[in-house]
Chain A
């Protein structure tokens, strides 16, 4: 059997993704329960635990959404079983209602919530910093900086949670969670198998009485602050009295080290690396602030640490003397987007007025000159053979045939990319999970204000379960006028093809009741149609008919398995080629429908002959482009 995160031997060194390190750290803490709704860059934490659940003897689930994931993990904690829950920054927004109550309630067995932020929004629709939640909810916050810390800090977070009797937050970012490094493996602890729920004191597992519990939460923070003063996850490297003190956490630590080395200022610049960023170890920090007059704060997304440091100085300015702060507020580190070693180097270089030339100027100019004409952007879009491209082709045509200015409200998933060219710019809004339908509830009630456009709300199959159902029920109840379009590709495709309640399988591969979206919708009393998106004609007709069947909510389920999932299992359905006789290129009058409008990456242009061509390495053999070519030049043959 292949070694995995559960079976790695103690004492060995393994290359682990940060998220895998967190998973291993949880196993070394003896967790019994793990839950999440997938969201990048956090998905591999619970994904990894799901793969090894049987080897590790633990329970792992993909919950219907983040709030249920946290509620379920909390139940395990209350019953004495250590548990972990993981989510991306948006997921934290979903759990807030429960989390605020839990922070006042407290916990029993160790409970750790990992939230992974996405600086630069590499796989998100927004950029958001999770950390302020620690402050408003009164919760301890840890931020690992190295791959070893991902694991070790996670294990320690469970002890901390049990000492304080509160949920512990661990914040990752893309470059800590979704990067890989070598990690020394430790011993695993077995989970507690004497689970029992028992309230020792009245109201123990409630947030009541509120003022008393709020006071207790603040006391827990005082205790955390004391513990953090001696934490091995905080350390200083540099001269006794640095000209510049860098205070950093998370991904900023590696970048700071690199920048100091690149500028050759190791003798005058010190780095205080903090792993415990809320509450702050105040004595430790004051001690270091005392020895310098300039501080640069290096952190990802918002100036959270920076603001906290300034607050700390403000409480007793005389204790640390005059300090000039540099960071996101001063403009030395940008307020938006990812940071990297170059940004940190340039910040230090500006503060110390020490010149730094990162790249050989002649080379840089030559490289720019030689490449810039060719290095076209590659915008992300639907894959070759993706059913969503076909669905949005029909959406575009149905809305055009209807002719009343109909539009699509958007949601979060692969199909969000329909706000770009490969979905023909059909998606007009994109906010949060379930919001397409929630917004359609509003648009669909505007007729008395003169609103006459048809509204189509898009959602995926996993999103349907996550957050669409309440909005759908609200729309039906209030007789809102819209069509719900469920793009059902039988997977949570955007985050790595995790199963969900509709797929008939659990996170650990057991057979589950497959909850049928059509049956759910029919039970709510609305008209439901199902279509195969690859049948462009029928899909367009069905959608047009539904759009025009006004006076309430209607549902179209466009059902076809994700091309990537299918491609792993089956050979392509068709072998495709272009009949170079029939394709008359620019003379056709179609305006190169295939390569300019449909834009499947499997369709390319033969410049020399002025005709369309199939790239056999990319083409997934779905056969749909045969039906969009007005010249009948794209030929599909059964594979």
Chain B
């Protein structure tokens, strides 16, 4: 997988979960390691509960455009399960690999009772059926345990890096975190990132 060129990654979630930050973190780590990286992001709704996604395209050879064509995702990193499903329906294919947070954020139509949210069993089954391999991570629970639910994003990023699907390893990410975060925030982020890395062995 990590030799595919371009490698098409979609990071998805709900506005406010840190989707854009995660794509930037990965993009910077990749550029630092000599790769071309392009990120296209849905925003505007980015802090307002909307469905958001970032397209991250990685290549050894050249720069690619900011949008991935339909059905062309290689990896989907989902910070919210319903959004993972939404992205798979548009960008998935039988070879796609999926890593998704298990914790739902209910859309208003679900909270109001007009729509149904899939059960954890349904989520697991749909993701398995629509991918070559799918991992579900209890990232928000882990982050809550660590004291800050927002850290779910970095736990998820850790899990993605831990799978070895990206062409760069954890060191590049930790260097990038150290470069871009203040001291107070760095420790918690590194800890969460490593929890995510370790999560892979727990899941496989």
The interface of chain A, by Cβ under 8 A from chain B, is 2-3, 13-15, 40-41, 122-123, 146-148, 175, 178-182, 251, 254-255, 257-258, 262, 340-342, 345, 358-360, 363-364, 366-368, 370-383, 414, 417, 421-422, 564, 592, 595-596, 599, 601, 603-605, 615-618
B42 within 8 A of A: yes
Stretch from B106-114, B156-164, B189-197 contacting the other chain? B106-114
**What 1/0 flags go to B115-155 for Cβ under 8 Å of A?**
11110001000100110000000001000100001000000
Cβ B65 vs Cβ A180 within 8 A:
no
Cβ A179 vs Cβ B69 within 8 A:
no
Contact of A380 among B48, B92, B116, B126 (CB under 8 A): B48
Cβ A341 vs Cβ B65 within 8 A:
yes
- Within the complex, the shortest CB–CB distance from B92 to chain A, in Å, comes to 6
- In the bound assembly, the distance between CA atoms of A364 and B92 in angstroms comes to 8
Cβ A360 vs Cβ B94 within 8 A:
yes
Contact of A175 among B28, B66, B89 (CB under 8 A): B66
B82 within 8 A of A: yes
Across the interface, which residues of A come within 8 angstroms of B65, CB to CB?
175, 251, 254-255, 257-258, 341
- In the bound assembly, the distance between CA atoms of A457 and B15 in angstroms comes to 29
B: interface residue count bin: 35 or more
B38 within 8 A of A: yes
Interface residues of B in 9-48 (CB under 8 A from A): 14-16, 23-24, 27-28, 30-31, 35-45, 47-48
Across the interface, which residues of A come within 8 angstroms of B35, CB to CB?
182
B99 within 8 A of A: no
- In the bound assembly, the distance between CA atoms of A461 and B157 in angstroms comes to 38
Contact A255/B42 with A181-B36, A421-B108, A601-B105 known, Cβ cut-off 8 Å: no
- In the bound assembly, the distance between CA atoms of A251 and B88 in angstroms comes to 25
Cβ A371 vs Cβ B49 within 8 A:
no
Across the interface, which residues of A come within 8 angstroms of B175, CB to CB?
none
- Within the complex, the shortest CB–CB distance from B47 to chain A, in Å, comes to 6
Across the interface, which residues of A come within 8 angstroms of B64, CB to CB?
254, 258
Cβ A179 vs Cβ B71 within 8 A:
no
- Within the complex, the shortest CB–CB distance from B104 to chain A, in Å, comes to 9
- Within the complex, the shortest CB–CB distance from A47 to chain B, in Å, comes to 14
- In the bound assembly, the distance between CA atoms of A374 and B8 in angstroms comes to 25
Cβ A374 vs Cβ B63 within 8 A:
no
Cβ A618 vs Cβ B24 within 8 A:
no
Across the interface, which residues of A come within 8 angstroms of B63, CB to CB?
146-148, 181-182
Cβ B49 vs Cβ A378 within 8 A:
yes
- In the bound assembly, the distance between CA atoms of A201 and B115 in angstroms comes to 71
Cβ A180 vs Cβ B108 within 8 A:
no
- Within the complex, the shortest CB–CB distance from B79 to chain A, in Å, comes to 12
Give 6 new A-B contacts, CB below 8 A, not counting A371-B89, A616-B144.
A3-B179, A358-B69, A359-B93, A374-B117, A375-B89, A605-B113
Q: Which residue of B is nearest A146, CB measured?
A: B63
Across the interface, which residues of A come within 8 angstroms of B44, CB to CB?
40, 122-123, 380
Contact A15/B31 with A378-B49, A380-B48 known, Cβ cut-off 8 Å: yes
Cβ A367 vs Cβ B70 within 8 A:
no
Across the interface, which residues of A come within 8 angstroms of B7, CB to CB?
none
Across the interface, which residues of B come within 8 angstroms of A123, CB to CB?
43-45
Contact A180/B38 with A15-B24, A360-B93, A615-B105 known, Cβ cut-off 8 Å: yes
